[in-house]
Every structure is written in structure tokens, then in C-alpha cells.
Chain A
Amino acid sequence: MKKYSYIGERVPRIDAIEKVTGAAQYAADLRLPGMLHVKLLKSPHAHARIVRIDTSEAEKLPGVRAILTGKEVPYKFGIYMQDKEVLAQEKVHHVGEPVVAVAADTEEIAERAVELIKVEYGELPPIFDVREAWKEGAPLVHERLHEYKHAPFIFPKPHTNIANHFKLRKGDVERGFKEADVILENEFYQPQVQNVQMETHTSIGQWLPNGQINIWTSAQSPFAVRHLLSAGLGVPIHKINVVVPYVGGGFGGKAGLHWEPLVVLLSKKVGGRPVKLVMTREEQFNTTAVRQGFYARIKTGVKRDGKIVAGEFLYVWDAGAYADYGVNIGRAAGYSCTGPYEIPNVKCDSLTIYTNHPYGTAYRGFGHAEFHFAVERQMDLVARAIGMDPVEFRLKNAALPGRITATGEKLREDAGRVDECINAVAEAIGWGKKGPKQVGGKLRGIGIAALWKAPAMPSFTSSSAILKLNEDGSVTLSISSTEIGQGTPTALAQMVAEELQMPIEKVKVVTKQETDFGPYSWQTVASRGLFMEGNATLNAARKLKEQVKGMAAQLLGVPEEELVVADEKVFVPGRPDKGLPLAKLATAGIFPDGRGIGGPVLGYGYYTAEGLTNLDPETGQGLPALMWTFGAQGAEVEVDPETGDVKVIKVVSAFDIGKAINPSLLEGQIYGGIVQGIGSALMEEFIFNGRGVLLNNNLTDYKICRAQDIPDELVFIPIENPQRNAPHGVRGIGEHPRISIEPAIANAIYDAIGVDLFEIPMTREKVWRALQKGRKNAAT
């Protein structure tokens, strides 16, 4: 029996007190001596040449220290596609794009200076409709796409707006459709939305005359910021230090690189004073990155017995003005295109397309929430077309261990079980039971949707951990996975305490990240942190134990193999004389005569994604997934047919998470994801006028869930089939709870009122309109 058992326990978050007392520091809290403040002049046009910029009046304003224009900073940045300009260079690509940046003594002065700058534009024809943008003859958003650097697994089509064309071909889709008894084709659409982090993007940059670059920023991934900045600016990477304090929500929108280049370039211009940029909420909508819009056409061929024999998927992503991250979202959605089902013949084309909308980036789910809406609506529609129960239909086609995914991967025996998730949700939502259909003039319905997602990342990404033994026997864990609210550092503390068999109170996890000191981690994204940092951390803890045992073996004169580390001691079980407190070994081992051996104890561990390969450029075949997390979600809704109001009464979710390390943190992730999904399902959308101006760039008119919009009942059912190569068997869960909310609700709405919806958000007015249309059709 272990004395210390933390895995699976509801350990309180290590950052809780700091955060609830307001002591936790975020980038916006930082004030450095001599710091300047930035304001941006932004484009009023969606697509226009920059003819002339006159900054003369602004320069005269006392307190203005630097004015920067795009011409002075001819750099391109980006993670998968190096296309992003920090200030528009020759032309503007979307309304809200920064054209000029001013650094001044105060925000007020910078703001006034911006008002004094005059820019002359020559308007160009814009392109907004993603369905038109990839066709020949559409206005080009990036004329020099062919010159851009990009990751080897990204396939842009020069002289078009296609930033990436991901292709997948499995089996023979034409033959598959010939075999099919029923073929059904549908289109689905989703607008751009925003991540709406509580903390807006904030960066402080300092470029010292000696070439040292210091950054304090609200980024998800300090090492990605360092790498992408170095690659974009062509400066040595060791000259850059990136500090990330607590981050007030990421949801993908702070992955990769954002405004860090702009603040360091401004700092360089003023000779090294620190320069701070805090995005306003309006800029968070207009100027920083958003979630891509999405259009899908799915054609499914199915046998009468319910077996899907062919699937053709066209996914078109509205990347907006830049696709630096978006290209890989198109790729990830492409290789997962079928949803959690085995389909023998698959054709998928996933196109990431430039338009003159705000630019897209990662958003919790990395494209999976978008395409699962399409896939899981289609599953219900196909089931209905062949007269089969939607749950039975899903189970019949489920991607179970041993079955073959669209990329040709044979799912491992320990891959997790989507069928168990579907069955658990069906039971908990009352599938097949007759509940009251009508309640006081309102109509109730239930819907279900399954899901899968693997971390979307290059095949070889890695993480590392450093575990130091301190002089009092406590340990300090450094990792570079940022604390963005998800709770990974707390779960890692539990793993360390369990592995070393010590009280968790003696484990510190450093939550402030700094690239000069911290161990490397690729990014805090993709629901990969607990899996990858977890493996690295366990690896580090084992290395720490090895060092401790090595020293203790010499000091105690016993073989290393007989030693055990537990209870803050290293000892031979059953021999009280043969033991030493860990505290005595922290800095060196000491013989009774005073001679020292060994040295400060430090465990270094790492983990590199295993078993992944690049995908074939023509067929998409290969191994893209470190792990698949499977799940299912169900919703019960109550629809008011008179007003179109949809009340989500209950949401049930089941995920095969392998192992729950901390059920409280896990539930936090689940419930938060559900609420975010409901926002997207029922209310969130970018509304533009015909000139590409966002009409709802604020939280007055861009609605997100408030307390009243949260369902009365949220049920989570953990399924725990452990993953062999994972720390304690865990799988990632950060993104999954928000993936299939939209289709579950849409399917429930159909069940309630018999109206099929193909677009989100399903607002009150849109549901009312769909009902009106249905009534009209019924009347004619």
C-alpha cells in the first residue's frame, strides 16, 4: 500500500489562492522602468493599397517616441506558413489590420498621435465569400504566395487564394458510391468567431543595443514565440528571452506568435526602452486572430444495413487575411475528416483559403468543432434516410480498436473506445425512452454526437522537464507548458508527489515560464500537455531517483538496486540503519568524515512524440496521431416554437480519457468546454457589412454565454481505458468537451421541432425563420 496516493485525487489547484486573491500576475500587470505604450492605426478597408502615410503631425506631439510603418519592417512571420506581416507593408488585407504603430510615454499620447496620422489608400476589390475565393479569377489576397516559406507538409497553390490543399484518398470512393444503396449530400456552414479570452493579447518587448531581446507576453508557448521570432527577424535565438507569466485564457488564440515582433521592433527604434501593447476588446475582435469560418460539403454512401461505404468531404476554411496557423487546421481536419468512424473509401479535400476577413488561427478544437458539426449532423441525416436509429448507426460504423482510419492507421488495442462513450451518453440522456415531448407550449428533444481528436502537431514535437531536489528535501519542477487555466501544473505536481512518494506540499511547480531557464517544450496546445509534459516529468522524477540512489549507495555501502525512494528518504526497506533523508543529498552527498561526493540533484526528463509520420502528399496516408481521444456528447433542449428560443436543459458528455489524474480539474475542463460550445452553437458569430467591417466587435453585440445560458444539468461520465504509452494512461481532454456540442444541440432541435439546421449559430431568430420556412412549406 502506498503512503502517498495522488493520482485520481481532487487536489486543489496550486494556483488557486494566488488567483482568487488577485496576487497572480499577468502580462498586463507588469510595469517596467521607462516603459512606453503602443497604440495602433488600423485599416478601415478590407483590401487596399497603401499609397501614402503622413506621420508629420504625430511626430511633433510631445511624448511620442517612435512611429513605425510596415515599410520599415519588411518581415514575414508564421508557424506553418510565413505570411504574416506585423504592420501592413504594401497593402492592407482586412479591416482592422495595423498600418502604423506609435510608441509614446502614455497611452493617451499614443492614442492622440494615432489620430494625427493620415493614410491614403487605393481601394482594391475585396473577396469575402470563401466559396468564391478559391475559384479562378478571384481577387488575390497574397499575390506573392509562391515566395512564402512554409512547413514541408503544407501545399499552397501559387497565384490563387489556396494557402493549403490537403488531400486524402483512401480506397476507391467512386466504387464505394456505386456499392451504396443510398447517397446523401449536404452542405454546412459556420461563420468566423473569436476565442474571447478574458485577457486580451498583451506583449511587452525590449530590444537592447547589445542585441539582447526580452519579451514578456500573454502567449501559450514561450519557446514557439522565441523560435518564430528568431526565424522571422533573422536574429540568433539565444539572444531572445521570452517570459510568460500567468495567461488569462488561451483557447488556441495565443498559440504561435502574435504581437511580440511589433513591440520588439518598436523598442529597437527607441533604443531599447521596453514597449507595451495591450489589445482593446475591439482589437481582440478586429485585429488579433480569430477562429476560421467553415464551409463543408459532405457526400455519404451507405448500405441499407447501415454500413457506410463511401465518404466524400470538401472542407473549405475561411482563413481570412493570413493563414500562418490556419493551413495546419485545414490539414488536421482533413486527416480526421470522417469523424470517429471507419469508412473504407474516402476522398477528402480540405482547403485553407485566404479572404479579406480578419485572420484565422487556432481555436480550442483546432477545426474539429467545425467539421464535427457537419459530420455529426450528416450522421443523423443519413441514419434517417435509411430509417436507422442514429445511435445504432454510429455504433455500427464506429472506429474501434483494430479498424482502419482514413489515413490507413490501424487503431491500437489501447486506442480508446468511442462505442463505450456513445453508449454511456445514450443511456444518460434517456435515448429511446419516451419523455414528455411538450411542456407548456414548448417542445423537447434530445440529440447525440460523437467525436475524436488527436493532437495536431508536427510528427516529432517534444517536451522536457527539470526536477530539482532542494536543501530541505522539497522538489521544484520546471516545465514550459504554460498555465492558461487548464490546470496541467497541478496534475504534474500530483504525478511528481506520487512518483517520489512524498507529500504534495513539498512539490513546487514553476508556473512562470522563461525560455532562458526553462526546459524546452514545443507548445501548450493540442491537448498534448498532460500527455507529453507528463511523460517528461515522470522521466525526470525517475532520473532524480537514480541520482539519489547512486549517491546513497556509496554513502550507505549498499547496492543501488536495494534502495527505495519514499517518505522524503532513500533507504533499504526493513533496515532502519540504511537510510538517508533526501534533504541530506540535495547539494552533495557527505561522508561522515566530511568528504563530499556527487552534486546538486537534478532530474532531466524528456518525451518526443512517438510513432508519427508525415502523410503522403497525394493520399494523406500515414500516422498523424500521437493518441486519439474519443468521446460522445448528448443534449436535451426545449424549443419555444413561437420565438425560436432554444433552452439547453441538459448536456451529457463521455470521453475515454484513459485516466482521470484530478477529477476536479477534469470537470472544470469539461464544463467550460460545454459552455463555450453552447455559445458557438446558439449565439456567437462575426457579422460583417458588405465592406468587410465587423459590426459586432464588442461584447455588447457579440454574445457569449452568461450564467443564464448554462444548462441546468451537466453530466460527465469518465471512461478509463488506459493508453499504454501515456503517463498513468491519460489522454488529452482540453479541447474535446467543446467539439460536439453544436451537432448534439442541432440534432436535438430536429428531434424537438422537426427542423434541420445546417448553419450555426442557431440563434433565436434563425430558428424562428427555419420554423417559418417549414410552416410555409407545409402550407404549400
Chain B
Amino acid sequence: MPLPEFSYFRPKTIEGLVSLLAGHGADAKILAGGTDLFVLMRDRLVRPKCVIDIKGIEELRELSWDKGRGLMIGAAVTLNELIGSEIVEQRFGALWKAASVLADPTIRNRATLVGNICNASPAADTAPALLVLDGGVEVVGARGERTIPIRDFFVGVKRTTLERGEFVRGVRIPNPPEGAKSDYLKWGRTRGEDLAVVGVAALAADSGKKFVRVALSSVAPTPLLISEVEDIFRGEGSIEERIEKAASVVVQRISPISDVRASREYRLHMAGVLTRRVLRQLLGVS
């Protein structure tokens, strides 16, 4: 099945990209890995007149870390590059795991983290990880630069707070608290590669009091951070009780749908199961 016709641009600089976006506006789509865009184009769900490939812009390939500013992941960094980073594996466990279970190894050769969040699917695997890691989306537009906290980035199915003419340069993630551990548990229909029926990311740190965050994919119109979980772990009760409380709050707060992949009931059930499992594992409860 052929793609519809489109003009193709490959700017070399951020400035070039900004002016192309300013010129083509609504008719343009940004191409990074293309693993979502080309599927949508093939299915005629989007028909951009022009496609702007950002892989020629060297500074968007940045994948760096420093003690102060944390992790920076440029828009052209592929998931396999991300998985290959020892820093990511050691300090940003939830993100590393989410990238590792997203699609399959061949897709990950091309797919990017920034593409995953800009596509804004409710099932985006990396989104819950970024939510618990409190990432910031660095945006560039004709009027300058801004940072959107990841928790304000998603507004609906396939919708973000990006404005026309803006693009995401990269995602910056602050260093988690000392000793923090994070993970992402994904549940599909099969043992093999699949989209998430439910995905749960969690981060746990113990700096005086228990500090825990939980976020989910595939259970609401957007990836969802369950902020009440933080309060539960700041509060009273045994770890076991708090985990149970967190799981029940998660199940109350989410609003999954029934579709071809799973029923609402099964998603609700699995959200609870995965929340319990990921928290037990991070908090060392057998």
C-alpha cells in the first residue's frame, strides 16, 4: 500500500526546522523514527503535505547526563540508543524498562522517546515512566523556548499541549532522589511484543519518609499520574497496608475502556495487580 504524496524536508539546524514549521504550519508533520507517522499515513489517518525529517539535526541526537542537571534525551535519540545507556539503566530504571518493552527490537532501532510522547497514545509505554521520573518536555517555537512538565503535556487521546509551530527538542529528567528505584510493568495480551493492555510505572525512594509515585498507561484518555499515591505513602500504616491502599486508589482513579484488546473489567483488575506487584518489588515486600 503506497503512501500518499508529500514533500520531504531534512533541515540541518534548529533554526531551519523552526522556519519550515512556521512556513508550513498545519500541513507539516515532523518525522523522527516514523514508526507511528508512516503507519498513520499509510492508513490515511493523517495526510501531511509536507514531512520534516529531524534526523539531520545534530544537536537533537544528544543523549547526556550530568550530576546537576540530570538526563537529556534529544528528539532524534532512538529507543535502542536509550536502552544502550548504562546511566539510564542504573538511575532511570522505569524509563529503561519502558523503552525495553516498547514494540520490538527492529522498531526500537528507529522509534524515539520523543516520538512516543508526541504521538500521545494513551498506551505510550514511556509516558508513565516519565511521569514518575518527573520529566520536563523542552519545546522550541517561533516565539522562543519553554519547558512543559510532563504531567501537563498530555491533554487527550493523541493530543498534547504543544502549540502550532512548536516542536519538542528533547526531554530532560532530573536525577531521582538518592537511592530511588523505579520500574515499569507492562501487561499485554500475550507474552510476545504487544501494546500495553495496562502499564504501571512506579518510583520509590526513602528519604526520611517513603516517597512513592505511580503512573499508568492504557487506562484513561491520557497516561495518568496517580498523585494520591504519594499522600498514601507519606501517611500512616504498614507497607503492606499502604500498597493495598495505593492499588485501590489506582483502580478508583482510572477510567479504562473496553476495546478489541481488553475489557474495562480486566484492565481495572490488572491495574490493581500490576500496581501491587511493582510496589512490592520496589519496596522489597515479598
| From B5, B192, B273, contact of A708 by CB (8 A) | B192
User: In the assembly, what is the distance between CA of A709 and CA of B190, in Å?
Assistant: 7
User: In the assembly, what is the distance between CA of A674 and CA of B252, in Å?
Assistant: 41
User: In the assembly, what is the distance between CA of A111 and CA of B44, in Å?
Assistant: 11
Q: Mark A668-702, 1 if CB is under 8 A from B, else 0.
A: 00000000000000110001000000011000110
Which among A320-328, A445-453, A760-768 touches the partner chain? A760-768
Q: Are A108 and B194 in contact (CB under 8 A)?
A: no
**177-199 of chain B: CB within 8 A of chain A:** 187, 189-195
Q: Mark B249-286, 1 if CB is under 8 A from A, else 0.
A: 00000000000111100100110010000000000000
**Given A107-B2, A683-B190, A701-B260 contact (CB < 8 Å):** yes
Determine the chain A residues whose CB is within 8 A of the CB of B192 once the complex forms.
703, 705-709
Q: Are B191 and A647 in contact (CB under 8 A)?
A: yes
Determine the chain B residues whose CB is within 8 A of the CB of A764 once the complex forms.
189-190, 266
**703-722 of chain A: CB within 8 A of chain B:** 703, 705-709
Chain B, residue nearest A765 (CB): B266
Determine the chain A residues whose CB is within 8 A of the CB of B191 once the complex forms.
645, 647, 706, 708-709
A643 close to chain B: CB less than 8 A:
yes
| From A280, A645, A682, A696, contact of B1 by CB (8 A) | A280
A516 close to chain B: CB less than 8 A:
no
Determine the chain A residues whose CB is within 8 A of the CB of B266 once the complex forms.
764-765, 768-769
The residue among B5, B187, B260 with the most chain A CB atoms within 10 A of its own CB is B260
Q: Are B1 and A642 in contact (CB under 8 A)?
A: no
**514-541 of chain A: CB within 8 A of chain B:** none
Q: Are B190 and A695 in contact (CB under 8 A)?
A: no
Q: Are A683 and B193 in contact (CB under 8 A)?
A: no
Chain B, residue nearest A109 (CB): B2
User: In the assembly, what is the distance between CA of A280 and CA of B187, in Å?
Assistant: 29
User: In the assembly, what is the distance between CA of A769 and CA of B265, in Å?
Assistant: 10
Q: Are A643 and B273 in contact (CB under 8 A)?
A: yes
User: In the assembly, what is the distance between CA of A106 and CA of B2, in Å?
Assistant: 9
How many A residues face the partner with a CB closer than 8 A?
Answer: 27
User: In the assembly, what is the distance between CA of A524 and CA of B189, in Å?
Assistant: 35
Chain A, residue nearest B42 (CB): A280
**108-122 of chain A: CB within 8 A of chain B:** 108, 111
User: In the assembly, what is the distance between CA of A682 and CA of B191, in Å?
Assistant: 10
Determine the chain B residues whose CB is within 8 A of the CB of A709 once the complex forms.
190-192
User: In the assembly, what is the distance between CA of A280 and CA of B39, in Å?
Assistant: 13
Determine the chain B residues whose CB is within 8 A of the CB of A703 once the complex forms.
189-190, 192, 194
Q: Are B260 and A111 in contact (CB under 8 A)?
A: no
Q: Are B2 and A111 in contact (CB under 8 A)?
A: yes
Chain A, residue nearest B104 (CB): A706
Determine the chain B residues whose CB is within 8 A of the CB of A768 once the complex forms.
266, 269
**732-780 of chain A: CB within 8 A of chain B:** 763-765, 768-769
Determine the chain A residues whose CB is within 8 A of the CB of B273 once the complex forms.
642-643
Q: Are A706 and B190 in contact (CB under 8 A)?
A: yes
**Given A703-B190, A706-B190, A709-B191, A108-B5 contact (CB < 8 Å):** yes
User: In the assembly, what is the distance between CA of A683 and CA of B190, in Å?
Assistant: 7
**Given A682-B190, A687-B260, A708-B192, A643-B2 contact (CB < 8 Å):** no
The residue among A111, A701, A764 with the most chain B CB atoms within 10 A of its own CB is A764
Q: Are A700 and B195 in contact (CB under 8 A)?
A: yes
Determine the chain B residues whose CB is within 8 A of the CB of A107 once the complex forms.
1-2
Quote the shortest CB–CB distance from A690 to chain B (angstroms).
Answer: 13
Determine the chain B residues whose CB is within 8 A of the CB of A707 once the complex forms.
192
Q: Are B269 and A683 in contact (CB under 8 A)?
A: no
Quote the shortest CB–CB distance from B172 to chain A (angstroms).
Answer: 31
Chain A, residue nearest B5 (CB): A108
Q: Are B1 and A683 in contact (CB under 8 A)?
A: no
Determine the chain A residues whose CB is within 8 A of the CB of B4 once the complex forms.
108
User: In the assembly, what is the distance between CA of A768 and CA of B270, in Å?
Assistant: 10
Quote the shortest CB–CB distance from B190 to chain A (angstroms).
Answer: 5
Quote the shortest CB–CB distance from B236 to chain A (angstroms).
Answer: 28
Determine the chain B residues whose CB is within 8 A of the CB of A647 once the complex forms.
191
Determine the chain A residues whose CB is within 8 A of the CB of B263 once the complex forms.
765
Q: Are A701 and B190 in contact (CB under 8 A)?
A: no
Determine the chain B residues whose CB is within 8 A of the CB of A106 once the complex forms.
2
Quote the shortest CB–CB distance from A107 to chain B (angstroms).
Answer: 5
User: In the assembly, what is the distance between CA of A764 and CA of B262, in Å?
Assistant: 10
The residue among A682, A705, A765 with the most chain B CB atoms within 10 A of its own CB is A765
Q: Mark B91-105, 1 if CB is under 8 A from A, else 0.
A: 000000000000010
Determine the chain B residues whose CB is within 8 A of the CB of A111 once the complex forms.
1-2
Determine the chain A residues whose CB is within 8 A of the CB of B193 once the complex forms.
706, 708
User: In the assembly, what is the distance between CA of A490 and CA of B189, in Å?
Assistant: 38
Q: Are A683 and B5 in contact (CB under 8 A)?
A: no
Quote the shortest CB–CB distance from A297 to chain B (angstroms).
Answer: 28
User: In the assembly, what is the distance between CA of A185 and CA of B153, in Å?
Assistant: 57
Q: Mark A627-653, 1 if CB is under 8 A from B, else 0.
A: 000000000000000110101000000
User: In the assembly, what is the distance between CA of A569 and CA of B263, in Å?
Assistant: 71
Q: Are B260 and A695 in contact (CB under 8 A)?
A: yes
Determine the chain A residues whose CB is within 8 A of the CB of B269 once the complex forms.
768
User: In the assembly, what is the distance between CA of A422 and CA of B18, in Å?
Assistant: 70
Q: Are A108 and B2 in contact (CB under 8 A)?
A: yes
User: In the assembly, what is the distance between CA of A155 and CA of B269, in Å?
Assistant: 49
Determine the chain B residues whose CB is within 8 A of the CB of A108 once the complex forms.
2, 4-5
Chain A, residue nearest B191 (CB): A708
User: In the assembly, what is the distance between CA of A330 and CA of B263, in Å?
Assistant: 34
Determine the chain A residues whose CB is within 8 A of the CB of B2 once the complex forms.
106-108, 111
Chain B, residue nearest A769 (CB): B266
User: In the assembly, what is the distance between CA of A642 and CA of B194, in Å?
Assistant: 20
Quote the shortest CB–CB distance from B82 to chain A (angstroms).
Answer: 21
Q: Mark B227-265, 1 if CB is under 8 A from A, else 0.
A: 000000000000000000000000000000000111100
Determine the chain B residues whose CB is within 8 A of the CB of A643 once the complex forms.
187, 270, 273
Name 15 A/B residue pairs within 8 A (Cβ), A-sorted: A107-B1, A107-B2, A108-B4, A280-B1, A645-B191, A687-B260, A696-B260, A700-B195, A703-B190, A706-B190, A706-B192, A706-B193, A708-B192, A764-B190, A765-B262
User: Could you tell me which A residues sit within 8 Å of B by CB distance?
Assistant: 106-108, 111, 280, 642-643, 645, 647, 682-683, 687, 695-696, 700-701, 703, 705-709, 763-765, 768-769
User: Could you tell me which B residues sit within 8 Å of A by CB distance?
Assistant: 1-2, 4-5, 104, 187, 189-195, 260-263, 266, 269-270, 273
Additional pairs, 8, CB under 8 Å, beyond known A687-B260, A705-B192, A769-B266? A108-B4, A111-B1, A643-B273, A703-B189, A703-B192, A707-B192, A708-B191, A709-B191
